[in-house]
């Protein structure tokens, strides 16, 4: 094992102990370190990073995530060896290449939960866990990494909140839960503990009582999605709606509800920014541009406002 490989393992262990899931970043960094090993290099440089990216072209969004992952690793390495160089941020695309979100219908969500409740496993835990995981993402807008990082101690069942550890540059925050979600989590935890015969510290555990991983969850989501027709059958994972689209659906449904209730979205938008853990208003306003129905509702609101303001 190379020195850089050992340092990567130490870095990932250090970050994960502080609540960061890093499943996607770990895969990117593993590929990058493998490239450096093949080049016989153990010091990160901007040139090597550019050569690796050139060898593995990807979307603007993926390139940005790569840069974030490598810059974080390089900054950590510089604490021990100043020869490491922190590559510059990725500036390509200017965020315009974000994939169009899939907004799940109520029927698609119902089918997703129903099919997940049929998943077979030795202890029967998967059919208990996955419907709750998808539902929690749908009603809170959590990122999948944030949900998988939740420990039981993060949940205040009395106050109806979940403490979310900082990830993806976001700050630590409290996410509110309605009474039905709190009740569903209570039931899930009791059933999970009974099936496992013990009480794991994490909220979402596998058949061995170990925290669920993103690769396992992603594979399960693909299998369920293909079973209900959300993704084409045949391909290993299939293209189509993603787990992250549950987060998009929550955001869009929240904005639609505010419009339907006649609320001033501009006054309430900061609430959604906090719940989603966005660091800028731009990230939240993106939904108004990306989803035609929201753009239409916003236009209608503006037309109504202008009409009301016209002198009689």
d(C-alpha 279, C-alpha 169), whole Å:
8
Residues belonging to the active site: 143, 168, 244, 247, 278, 287
Residue 309: phi, psi to the nearest 5? Answer: -85, -5
What token pair was written down for 201?
A: 């510290």
d(C-alpha 237, C-alpha 149), whole Å:
24
Per-residue exposure over 8-45, b if at least 16 CB sit within 10 Å of its own CB, e if not: beebbeebeeebbbbbbbbebbeebbebbeeeeebebb
Sign for the CA dihedral angle at 210, 250, 158, 278 comes to: positive
d(C-alpha 133, C-alpha 135), whole Å:
5
For residue 239, give Cα distances in angstroms to 110, 235, 262: 20, 8, 37
């Amino acid at each position: 094992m190379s020195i850089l490989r050992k340092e990567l393992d130490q870095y990932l262990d250090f970050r994960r102990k502080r609540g960061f899931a890093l499943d996607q970043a770990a895969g990117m960094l593993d590929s990058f370190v493998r490239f450096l090993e093949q080049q016989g290099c153990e010091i990160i440089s901007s040139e090597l990073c550019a050569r690796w990216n050139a060898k593995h072209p990807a979307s603007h969004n993926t390139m940005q995530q790569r840069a974030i992952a490598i810059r974080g690793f390089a900054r950590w390495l510089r604490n021990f060896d100043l020869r490491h160089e922190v590559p510059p941020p990725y500036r390509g695309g200017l965020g315009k290449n974000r994939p169009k979100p899939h907004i799940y219908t109520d029927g698609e969500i119902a089918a997703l939960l129903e099919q997940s409740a049929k998943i077979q496993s030795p202890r029967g835990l998967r059919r208990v866990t996955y419907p709750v995981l998808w539902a929690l993402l749908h009603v809170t807008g959590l990122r999948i990494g944030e949900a998988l990082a939740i420990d039981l101690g993060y949940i205040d069942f009395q106050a109806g909140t979940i403490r979310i550890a900082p990830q993806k540059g976001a700050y630590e925050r409290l996410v509110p839960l309605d009474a039905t979600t709190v009740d569903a989590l209570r039931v899930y935890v009791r059933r999970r503990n009974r099936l496992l015969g013990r009480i794991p510290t994490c909220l979402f555990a596998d058949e061995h009582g170990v925290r669920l991983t993103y690769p396992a969850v992603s594979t399960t989501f693909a299998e369920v999605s293909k079973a209900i027709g959300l993704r084409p059958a045949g391909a290993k994972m299939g293209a189509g709606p993603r787990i992250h689209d549950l987060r998009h659906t929550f955001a869009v449904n929240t904005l639609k509800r505010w419009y339907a209730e006649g609320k001033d979205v501009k006054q309430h938008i900061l609430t959604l920014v906090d719940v989603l853990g966005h660091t800028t208003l731009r990230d939240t306003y993106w939904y108004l541009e990306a989803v035609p129905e929201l753009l239409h509702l916003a236009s209608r609101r503006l037309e109504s406002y202008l009409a009301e303001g016209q002198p009689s």
